Amino acid sequence: MARAQGARAQMALAFETVYGTPPGAGFTQMPFITSSLAAEQPLLASELLGYGRDPRAPLLDAITTDGDVEVPIDAIGFGFWLKAAFGAPTTAGTVAATGSITFSVQPAVNATVTINGTAFTFVASGAVGNQVNIGANLAATLTALAVVLNASVVAGVALATYIGTATALTMVYDVLGSTGNTFTLAASIAPASNGTVSATTLTGGLNAHTFLSGSWTLPSMSIEVGMPEVPRFAMYSGCVLDSLSWQMERSGLLGAKAMLVAQGETIAAATTAGTPAAIALKRFGHFNGAIKRDGVALGNIVSADLTYANNLDRIETIRSDAKIDGADPTIAALTGKIDVRFADTTLLTQAINGTAAALEFSYLLGSGESLTLTAHAVYLPRPRIEIKGPKGVQASFDWQAALATSPARMCTVVLVNTLAGYP
């Protein structure tokens, strides 16, 4: 008999067009750590008298479908939860894709390089069309190759700009963003081009997805949690994100908790999410984190907690299917706690004066992907400064963010990655 194991559990997510209606396609396989998302229906003990000391059978009460999902904070998948928390982002390219072909020696006659699907052939002399004359030395050949490529009328080739150096042909995609990451490169082996491509495609193109607080309309999601060995596939429709929280520390695995309110649960013996699209997982770590105050690095931080809450109002009406009518966002909240080694009075002075400052919480990978949450107007309480022994003195600030004057919102989240957009 098969037994359900968390190691084999699956989660698929898609945003809904109509609240409470799972889409027929477009699901994405989501990495997760734990999930308590489920439907619950308690029993009501009988209150009837006159039947002796033994009670009558209990009755079923209303169904509640909610729970939390713990997820890794990564460069791609975390954007789905940010969209659920804030609404759809605006997306713009920030970094152009680049690549190169490095040559050890001169290419042989009739050797080729293929640029985004179009072959260019090296010839001894008399080059025409997509041909390149082999020069007196490698640098001259690569200069000639760059000239031909930059002058090419082939649409796919004209998408980039080319530079010939002493040993390599380098190229930069002309448009910022991740689109250039699909631009292909190849160099022939026979005849020997003697060239080595940096990768099969250009790489490094990045987009910035900007999420803003303050939206009155939040997207709903359908989330399927599957245990294939039973089999049991639970589809939770009408999922709206109530809160998103995480903690910043010096070390350890970095994850976030998403609290969800769903409209209902449907159980099936087979998946109804089809074949979910996979994402390229690239996790942030605690050691990638940094905290700034008004743009200046804030030192002596031991840990930090962040919670963004939509404070959903469940619309619990009388229905024959026991589902709720919706979950509407009310006044949002961005709160947290920072524990600091008491080394200066910067934060204490701000707390005493009752003034606001911007706090920026960020993660940055060496490959360029980043996540930055900026709370534009943060207020600090005056904390108790206690000496608990011979070791360092710490202070804790339970901060609250509010609507700022400029920009006129509470917070901004920017996720930079290789994804073209969030559907």
pLDDT band per the 50, 70, 90 thresholds, residue 1: low
pLDDT of residue 295: 95
pLDDT (tens digit, 9 = 90+) per residue, 218-265? 999 999 999 999 999 999 999 999 999 999 999 999 999 999 999 999
Instruction: Give yes or no for residue 416 having a pLDDT over 90.
Output: yes
Instruction: Give yes or no for residue 311 having a pLDDT over 70.
Output: yes
All structural domains of the chain with their residue ranges: 8-37+62-89+208-417, 97-204
pLDDT of residue 122: 98
Q: Provide the mean pLDDT of the chain.
A: 95
Task: Give percent above pLDDT 90 in the chain.
Answer: 92
Mean pLDDT of 88-107: 98
pLDDT band per the 50, 70, 90 thresholds, residue 387: confident
pLDDT (tens digit, 9 = 90+) per residue, 323-354? 999 999 999 999 999 999 887 888 999 999 99
pLDDT of residue 2: 74
- Provide the 10 A C-beta neighbour count for residue 159: 18
Beta carbons of 184 and 114 less than 8 angstroms apart: yes
Distance CA 156, CA 146 (A): 15
